Chains A and B, each alone.
Chain A
């Protein structure tokens, strides 16, 4: 069973300082990598723009050509606005759904940290550090380290089975 040791801090700066001090003790998991969201956005945008252009080219010059005063069926300049809009649209959809489903792994109906009723302050006016461990004996040691780092409250929750 996984256990989560949670420490509450009232000030954001204190929380950051504590995380820095605790990192050696816990692990270096919080060393955050550079976000991949821009890569997703760029890929979506380029594919969207290419798709938008191809759609207009195929439909207006291959699938259903409409002759208006002998103007070219494949109109490069008149394709620009929709190419731009479809690029933006697909980039936006990739950023939003990529973030929600892939980067945040949301929506989720349950997370063990919510076992602590006190944790509700996380979205209101407090700052929390969470350390995850499967080793029951490590809990006491972690709790002590959290207190030393200046946590205002320390809670340990167990994942519901």
Chain B
């Protein structure tokens, strides 16, 4: 008896709860699509759309009047525009990590959350891309020097600039994420087409399913194509945020000019991305009835990734401070030991340190990893902390530069705040639309996993679906 109790505690939590087969998985995972919209969903959608209206108004104003409406000044030439860009693009990284890197590492728990996280990536990159484009001031001219396009001016981009690398990295990242996501969706769109009861839904999903009929020959190519896309998306996860960090690291500004930046930025991106996945997934799995496929095991695994990447980020903080001290450079030391912890933005520095260093430590305990409340609050705080990290990197480094007579404070204007708030709402709106119209869980992949768990080899006892 004692032995049995011990066994149950040692067994990992199930990946799929209950006895499921293809039919029940199909029904339960797509039920949300076929239901009439719930009131809560409609209310959130309305709120999101109202916020999106704020965003579009702020964009229209910025374009019509210019970026003088923002709080940017000299010396703080880069402010909310870049903070929000880096924050959003970092959030996107978890999606690609889950869908690509965890696929290559054969982590079975990724299957339930990859579609969801990839959608998050796409929508986050869309928000991110807005900011640099608006920051150019005259976006309609930006195309001349951002893309190598043969204009009559015969002016070509300067490819030695990290900002150009960024353009290529982010656009490649967006296109790859979109195509990877869509390729994964095709069999599920076919399933929606085939389980639809109305002619309109059948035609609608039918168009996007492209006539997929699940032929074994197609599946054969499909699997390899999917795996290759994952293989190509994997270095992208590392390269995109590395290149974003070079926007800073290749300058000579104290607080930016650090070799630790690429790995530290990539880890920070994954850290914030997992925080955003948890922020969205915990409520969604409850209201969409996905608890049988997104189990405590998934949440726990994500908390562990957050803890790990959080530790890498903390190591980055430590090394930044160490390098500043060890360099003996007074400008470096001023930024790290005077401006940030004791300057006018010290509150932002301590918010960052509390949210990113102190809060994730609770995930060392199993209790905090398995309690949805601690997980959700921890994840939201990490999102806040990661925003403030970028605020500190950008604003505090710039506002006190080499000559004290240049120093100035930065305050965001209401347009800056509306853009940040608006992108959060726009992101939420896109996400709500995605949750309603597309399967939030990769159904065909999950059916395959379920089959594998039920009939699989040695590990099936441990990994298997238990009632």
Contacts and interface: CB of A to CB of B under 8 A. Distances in A.
A122 B169 contact: no
A107 B168 contact: no
Interface stretch (A59-67, A137-145, A148-156): A59-67
Interface size class of A (residues with CB under 8 A): 35 or more
B194 A104 contact: no
A12 B451 contact: yes
A87 to B, nearest CB: 9
Contacts, number: 148
Contacts of B325: none
Contacts of B154: 63-64
B172 A99 contact: no
Given A93-B179, A96-B229, A111 B213 contact: yes
A85 interface: yes
Contacts of A68: 158, 160
Interface residues of B, number: 54
A81 B159 CA distance: 10
A63 B23 CA distance: 61
Contacts of A91: 228, 232
Nearest to A68: B160
A125 B21 contact: yes
A96 B172 CA distance: 14
B218 A123 contact: no
A42 to B, nearest CB: 9
Q: Which of A71, A85, A98, A113 has the most CB of B within 10 A?
A: A85
B239 A85 contact: yes
A123 B191 contact: yes
B38 interface: no
B217 A92 contact: no
Chain B interface helix/strand/loop/mixed? helix
B145 to A, nearest CB: 11
Nearest to B236: A88
Contact of B159 (A12, A59, A110): A59
A81 B243 CA distance: 8
A106 B160 contact: no
Contacts of B160: 60, 68, 71, 75, 78
Contacts of B168: 81-82, 85-86, 89
B225 interface: yes
B225 A78 contact: no
A37 B221 contact: yes
Interface string A109-152: 11101100001111111100000000000000000000000000
Contacts of B455: 13
A92 B180 CA distance: 9
B210 A60 contact: no
A5 interface: no
A92 B175 contact: yes
A25 interface: no
Contacts of A125: 21-23, 26
Contacts of A64: 154-156
Contacts of B195: 120, 123-124
Contacts of A106: 210-212
A55 B182 CA distance: 29
B175 A123 contact: no
B228 A38 contact: yes
A32 interface: yes
A123 B159 CA distance: 47
Contacts of A55: 148
A18 to B, nearest CB: 12
Interface in B209-254: 210-214, 216-218, 220-222, 224-225, 228-229, 232, 235-236, 239, 243, 246
Contacts of B435: none
B122 interface: no
Nearest to B170: A85
Given A13-B455, A85-B169, A124-B22, A104 B148 contact: no
Given A12-B451, A37-B224, A120-B194, 6 more contacts: A38-B224, A82-B159, A99-B225, A100-B210, A108-B211, A124-B195
22 contacts: A37-B228, A38-B228, A55-B148, A56-B159, A60-B159, A60-B160, A64-B156, A66-B158, A78-B159, A82-B159, A82-B164, A91-B228, A95-B232, A96-B179, A96-B182, A107-B210, A109-B211, A120-B194, A120-B195, A123-B214, A124-B23, A125-B26
Interface of B: 21-23, 26, 148, 154-160, 164-165, 168-169, 171-172, 175-176, 179-180, 182-183, 187, 190-191, 193-195, 210-214, 216-218, 220-222, 224-225, 228-229, 232, 235-236, 239, 243, 246, 444, 451, 455
Nearest 9 A-B pairs (CB), nearest first?
A125-B22, A107-B210, A120-B194, A125-B23, A64-B156, A103-B221, A108-B211, A59-B156, A81-B165
